[in-house]
Every structure is written in structure tokens, then in C-alpha cells.
Amino acid sequence: MPKNWKTKLIHSDVHAPDGFQSLATPVYRGSTALFPNAAAVNDTWDQYEAGYTYGLYGTPTVLELAGRICELEHGYRTLVTPGGQAAISLINFAFLKAGDHVLLPESVYSPSRRFASHVLRRFGVDVTLYRPTIGQAVEEAQQSGVPKAEGIQSLFRPNTKLVWCESPGSITMEVQDVPAIVRAAHEAGALVALDNTWAAGIYFDAFAHEVDITMQALTKYVGGHSDLLLGSITVRDEGLYKRLGSTHQLVGCAASPDDCSLALRGMKTLGLRLKHIEESALLISQWLTQRSEIELVLHPALASCPGHEIWKRDFSGSSGVFSIVFGQKFTKKQVLAFVDALELFEIGYSWAGVTSLAVAYDFGGNPARPNYGHRIVRLSIGLEEMGDLKADLQQALQQMSSQS
């Protein structure tokens, strides 16, 4: 059929030659996925089962990233979300309903806690916060015969459906006894979801420890360059995948193929970046333990971090985020002056990029967090030369001490 040039703009007869083999995954953008005939049209969300039906459920770029995260985490299947927080809310939407009860550690990423205490409570879900180190009590209870009620078991109710873990916890860095919590949760018929972002889904093998659902903010180590927002959810089995996938369809939180392509590129250097960052962060945190200004270095690989023994038992490495707690004598003004004096460490949220970051927090008046008050600063170590970062910290410590 002859075509007008304007029609040809849309229905062209041009075909680029086939056969280009790229090392990069092509960026497939698209809302519409074409069907071969009228009868083939369907809206099944599971693209592994039905083939491609709609861009919302993933283009090949999105599914390639999902598959690669799943492969690294040893899960059954992975879904990609537009950010880490979207992954957290989707897990809650998929596995909770009105009348259920959910448990979260006090050290959980604060928007995750606020989602529970604001949105979930509004939808009729009961929320209880638990001490992040409570699982260790479970372990001790099981070994020593102490009544189980001293551990997390006392928090379970007949309607407890989900237990969240985040190990180590945000900012205060408590390493959780995830295997003990999993055992207690499974005995009580509850699922366990883990925020495995700090370990990049690698340094803690969640499914080997029988966690049911993991999520990561791919925004962090997988992206690795502070230029994208993405999340992932990985599940242990098909039943969980079906439940999650059908909710993902209805919540409609599709990930951008462009961002997924950046994450796929980020993954290729993840091993090298993690290795460099791990080494730098360890050396810097060890050096910081010797500074008189600092009372505590909260790095899971150091004995001073709550849960360090569990990190040694369960993790295969450490990443680059840790916190320091200044001595009692330092005022909030001095702590802020320390952060302001840093020249290489930038000030900003998110972490795990190539640029080192520092943020001061204030837990004063929060009985649910350790008593660090205004004295805690979280550091994210990037790819700068370790000696330069140390020199930067040293000059900032000196400037802080000279402030009155």
C-alpha cells in the first residue's frame, strides 16, 4: 500500500541491518508491547509466563537487570521498582492487609518506619517497633533454656504476618541476628523481609539464611554513581512472586529502562568499587578509633559495633557506610562544624556513590534510638584516595576541637 510521507514517519519501510552484537544491554523503552494478532492480546503481568504484554511489567532492559540482581542474590525472582522506598512500600502492600500486625526494628530506614506508622496504621495494620539487637536474645534463649518470652517471640501475635529486618540498621549500624529472627518468625507463621542494601545484596546471603523477601535500594551500590533511583525486590519462591507481581501490576510502580541501563552498567564495576570502598572504609574506621575526639566507631567489622560478632558469623565482607559518635563534651555546634569543615566529603543524603559523604544526625529525645544525641555522624566512603580522605577528616577534627 503506498504511504504518505507523514505515515512513513510512523510506519517506515527502513530496517537497519541485523546482527549488531553489543557488550551493553540495549535500552528498550516502551509502554506498548506489540501482539502478533488480535487473539493474542492479554494483560498478564508475568512476562516470563506470557511474553511481553505491557511496558509497565518490564521491557527487556528492566528484566535483564531484574534477572541479574536475582542471580547475585540467589533468589527465585526479582522485580525492579522506581526506588528503594517504592520497594519497601510495595512489599508492605503485597504482604499485609487490614487486621494484620507487622514488626520493624527501631533502627530501620526512617521512611520505612514512617510508612508503617502513617500509611499502614491508616489502613488498619498494627505496627510494633522492636530493638534491633533483640534476635540475639532469641539465640541466647534457645541455647540457655531461658524462657522464650525474653526474645522477639513475646512480640508475636496471632495476626503477625511480616517481620522487617535491616542489617546493619540505618545510621546506628546494629547488626541483626537475622537467622534467629527468621526462625522465630517462621515458627510464628510470619514472613521475613530484609533491607539488604548495605550488603549490596552480596555480603549477606539472605536466602541461604532463609529470609523470604529481600529488597535493595539499587540507588546505592548497584547504581554506584549517585545518578539514578531504583529498587529491587527478590523473593524466595513462586508463591511469593505471584503475590508480589500481581500487587506490582496494580500499584503500577514501573522502573525506567534508562535508569535500569545505568544500573546494568554500574553492576559491571560493582566488584571493583566494593573492594576499594571496603578497604578504604576499614582503614579509615580503624584510624578513627584512635582519635581522642571519637567515643565510638560504629562499623560492623569493628568490635565496637553492636552485633559485630554476628557480622563476623554471617557476612562475607563490609561496605563503605559507617558512623562515628563523638565524645560527650562535644556540642551540636562543634559536630556540625566538623561536617562543615570537611572538604572532600560532601554533605547530602543517599550514599554508596563514588563521592564520599557525611551527614550529622540528632537522636536527642528519641527513646527508641541509642543515647548518641547530637553526637553521631554517618560517613559514606567513596573512591577518592584513602590518604586524602584521612587527611580531610584529620583537618576537620582539628577545626572542630578549636571551635568553642
Ligand X SMILES: Cc1ncc(COP(=O)(O)O)c(C=O)c1O
The binding site for ligand X (CB under 6 A) comprises 83-85, 109, 166, 170, 195, 197, 217, 219, 229, 231, 350
- Cβ of 316: how many Cβ atoms within 10 Å? 9
Residue 122 CA to residue 382 CA, distance in Å, equals 39
In sequence order, what are the residues at sequence separation of 6 or more whose Cβ sits closer than 8 angstroms to the Cβ of residue 310?
A: 136, 175, 176, 177
Q: How far is the CB of 305 from ligand X (least distance, A)?
A: 16
Q: How far is the CB of 348 from ligand X (least distance, A)?
A: 11
Q: How far is the CB of 170 from ligand X (least distance, A)?
A: 5
Q: How far is the CB of 394 from ligand X (least distance, A)?
A: 27
- Contact assessment for residue 216 and residue 196, using Cβ atoms and an 8 Å cutoff: yes
Amino acid identity of residue 11, one-letter, is: H
The residue among 73 and 397 lying less far from ligand X, judged by its C-beta, is 73
The residue among 26 and 348 lying less far from ligand X, judged by its C-beta, is 348
The residue among 53 and 196 lying less far from ligand X, judged by its C-beta, is 196
SS3 of residue 160 by DSSP: strand
Cell readout for 141 is 534463649
Dihedrals phi, psi of 306, to nearest 5 degrees: -60, 125
The answer for 258, left when phi > 0, alpha when psi is -120 to 50, beta otherwise, is: alpha
Residue nearest to ligand X (CB): 84
How many CA atoms, within 13 angstroms, populate the side-chain half-sphere of residue 272? 7
SS3 of residue 378 by DSSP: strand
Sign of CA pseudo-dihedral 153, 156, 157, 162: negative
Residue 276 CA to residue 297 CA, distance in Å, equals 20
Q: How far is the CB of 62 from ligand X (least distance, A)?
A: 16
The residue among 153 and 216 lying less far from ligand X, judged by its C-beta, is 216
For helices 270-289 and 386-402, the axis angle rounded to 10 degrees is: 40
List b or e across 261-274, with b for residues whose CB sees 16 or more CB atoms inside 10 angstroms: bbbbebbeebeebb
Q: How far is the CB of 320 from ligand X (least distance, A)?
A: 13
How far is C-alpha 37 from the geometric centre of its chain's CA atoms? 41
The residue among 45 and 109 lying less far from ligand X, judged by its C-beta, is 109
The residue among 200 and 337 lying less far from ligand X, judged by its C-beta, is 200
The residue among 73 and 337 lying less far from ligand X, judged by its C-beta, is 73
The residue among 68 and 378 lying less far from ligand X, judged by its C-beta, is 378
Q: How far is the CB of 231 from ligand X (least distance, A)?
A: 5
Q: How far is the CB of 87 from ligand X (least distance, A)?
A: 8
The residue among 151 and 169 lying less far from ligand X, judged by its C-beta, is 169
Contacts 24+ apart (CB under 8 A), 255-259: 255/58, 255/62, 255/65, 255/80, 255/81, 255/82, 255/230, 255/231, 256/82, 256/230, 257/27, 257/28, 257/29, 257/30, 257/59, 257/61, 257/62, 258/27, 258/29, 259/82, 259/223, 259/228, 259/229, 259/230
Cell readout for 21 is 552484537
The residue among 131 and 242 lying less far from ligand X, judged by its C-beta, is 131
Q: How far is the CB of 6 from ligand X (least distance, A)?
A: 42
Q: How far is the CB of 219 from ligand X (least distance, A)?
A: 3
